[in-house]
Amino acid sequence: MKALRTVPGSLLAAAPSLRDENFMHTVVLMCAHGDEGAHGLVINRPSPITIDKLMPAHALLARQHNVVHAGGPVGLDTLQFVHRVPGRIAGGVELSSGIHLGGDIDQLAQFLEERGESAAEDVRLILGYAGWGAGQLEEELAGGSWIPVSLQPEWVFAPDSQGVWRQVVRSLGGAAAGLEDLPPDVSWN
């Protein structure tokens, strides 16, 4: 049997039954998946942290109040960002469908300075990431903990990021219809 793998730029929606507090009702943008493991960024968990609190020493970022999302439980000292403005923020890696990971931090700061909080339409700031060791994600995919989903760029930058999980799961239709309304444990009904 061939191992299940994701590709950069694809999404994983947590199955309704996934009760791990780090991942319950999350959507993960996959960045890499190989023999040595996988990593991705949770895109639908806004945190109470804003970029000015996280980067007080940066001349421009210290003046911005853009929300930083919780990208996962690993590397909580690692700020990353995804964007869809490569003409304004150079140096990123295109994951898929015009979604870029990272880039020049000073160009990011300038973009945020110019656009303010409306920059969230094109940039998602993320602290931490989701990581899996060798074979771990394949096992979780085979066990049904994650639902692979094709990327829709508007989900990555949705203004109501907390509603993204329901949108993603609802988009599956067919046999998945109604999954977005299930509690993580049916005994909660």
Domain of 94: which CATH number? Answer: 3.40.1740.10
Q: Which domain holds residue 37?
A: 11-176
The pLDDT confidence band at residue 17, using thresholds 50, 70 and 90, is: confident
pLDDT in the model for residue 188:
45
pLDDT in the model for residue 176:
53
Chain mean position to CA 44: 6
Please say if the pLDDT value at position 186 is more than 90.
no
Please say if the pLDDT value at position 4 is more than 90.
no
Please say if the pLDDT value at position 185 is more than 50.
no
The pLDDT confidence band at residue 174, using thresholds 50, 70 and 90, is: low
Tell me, yes or no, whether 103 lies in a domain: yes
Tell me, yes or no, whether 100 lies in a domain: yes
Tell me, yes or no, whether 184 lies in a domain: no
* pLDDT tens-digit readout, 26-46: 999 999 999 999 999 999 999
Number of domains present in the structure of the chain: 1
- pTM, two decimals, is 0.90
Instruction: Report helix, strand and coil shares of the chain as percent, to nearest 5.
Output: 30, 30, 40
| Burial status of residue 71 (CB atoms within 10 A of its CB: 0-12, 13-18, 19 or more) | buried
Please say if the pLDDT value at position 158 is more than 90.
yes
Tell me, yes or no, whether 3 lies in a domain: no
Tell me, yes or no, whether 38 lies in a domain: yes
